[in-house]
Amino acid sequence: MTITKLKNSVFVVFMCMVSRCLSASINESSVELKNCNIYEGKWVYDEAYPLFDSSKCSAIRGQFNCLKYGRPDRQFLKYRWQPNACSLPKFDASDFLARMKGKHIMFVGDSVSENHGQSLICLLNQAGAPSEVVEAVSDLTPNNSVTNVKLEAHGISITLFLSHYLVDIENEKIGRVLKLDSIKDGNTWKQADVLIFNTWLWWYRKGPKQPWDYIDSEGKIVKDMDRMEAFRRGLTTWKNWADSNINPSKTKVFFQGISPMHYNGEEWNAKGVKDCSRETTPLEGSTYPAGEPLALKVLKSVLYRKTPSSLSVPVTLLDITTLSQLRKDGHPTKYNNLGGMDCTHWCLAGVPDTWNQLLYTELLR
């Protein structure tokens, strides 16, 4: 009897020790993750990747569906982002669905935002969360379109809100005017529980692909202006809108960093290379030879400007720029439904899945 009690006591002590160890390990891991710069690291080969099978996700737009349109190599699918100072938690779709139950997630931006949002939909579909897609056109801004995806079983809505500049384009007597000081779609945006914004791709477009004729800034209408300055003013208008309209106790706000293009091989020390068509592996290491793009510096200057904390809404930067710069191999190239060379968007499955893994990590910490 005494021996039995002693054994039971030893077992209880042992279990308590294990429990404390596990608890301590989890706490240490949480502290490590909280203090870790998850955006500094390198790409490592991992046979467990990709995170989903693109052939089983109907949400993927043809422009991003590289395997469907004949991309012959598969190695680009097999890379995992490894931060220098910690390890990213795996994207746990079941946990994500539980955390987001009953909530509304909205991606607002250009087609790179669509790239990002479709990746998330595929990651959740693979976890047994079937989606119903409902498309609608915004009544407020004819240039923008809205796609609503509903995960009915979980009460989750994912909205892809196409807005090339975040600020407005309006049709006036003189023509189409890009209004750097105006945001009219904001009442729709602020209803979401999680907002992920992005803009950059369209700011330097000229000629037939430019969707405006004039710029209206600070009450002055001009035919054109320095595009980086226009970008800064548009971002400032967006940040002022966020500070004035977002309730941080209800809504988490993220801004996607600048998604890079790969049309100039000199940026990654490949002289004479004019596109990404022959790229099949990432760059090694943690730095990109061309460095940080000016657009990212402008974005950071707006996000991190000095404002009284009581007047500023927290915005988390998903700083995906450098890690995406390293992935010259991740673009559709000619393997898309449009037929042209695309070194701007990203294959799905692919790099945007890591953006969502980083989004999930930011929601955890």
Q: Is the pLDDT of residue 364 over 90?
A: yes
9 is known as an active-site residue: no
Distance between CA atoms of residues 259 and 190, nearest Å: 24
Percentage of residues of the chain with pLDDT beyond 90: 79
Q: Give me the pLDDT at residue 20, please.
A: 52
Q: Which of 216, 329, 342, 353 is catalytic?
A: 342
Q: Is the pLDDT of residue 6 over 80?
A: no
Q: Give me the pLDDT at residue 11, please.
A: 43
111 is known as an active-site residue: yes
User: What does the pLDDT look like over 86-135, one tens digit per residue?
Assistant: 999 999 999 999 999 999 999 999 999 999 999 999 999 887 766 666 55
Mean of pLDDT values over 293-301:
98
Q: Is the pLDDT of residue 53 over 90?
A: yes
Which backbone phi and psi does 315 adopt, to 5 degrees?
A: -125, 120
Q: Give me the pLDDT at residue 109, please.
A: 97
**Counting beta carbons within 10 angstroms of the beta carbon of residue 271, is it exposed (0 to 12), middle (13 to 18) or buried (19 or more)?**
exposed
Q: Which of 54, 216, 345, 353 is catalytic?
A: 345
Closest by CA to 199, choosing from 116, 313, 314, is 116
CB 198 within 8 A of CB 235: no
User: What does the pLDDT look like over 171-212, one tens digit per residue?
Assistant: 999 999 999 999 999 999 999 999 999 999 999 999 999 999
331 is known as an active-site residue: no
Q: What is the pTM of this model?
A: 0.90
Q: Which of 54, 111, 131, 324 is catalytic?
A: 111
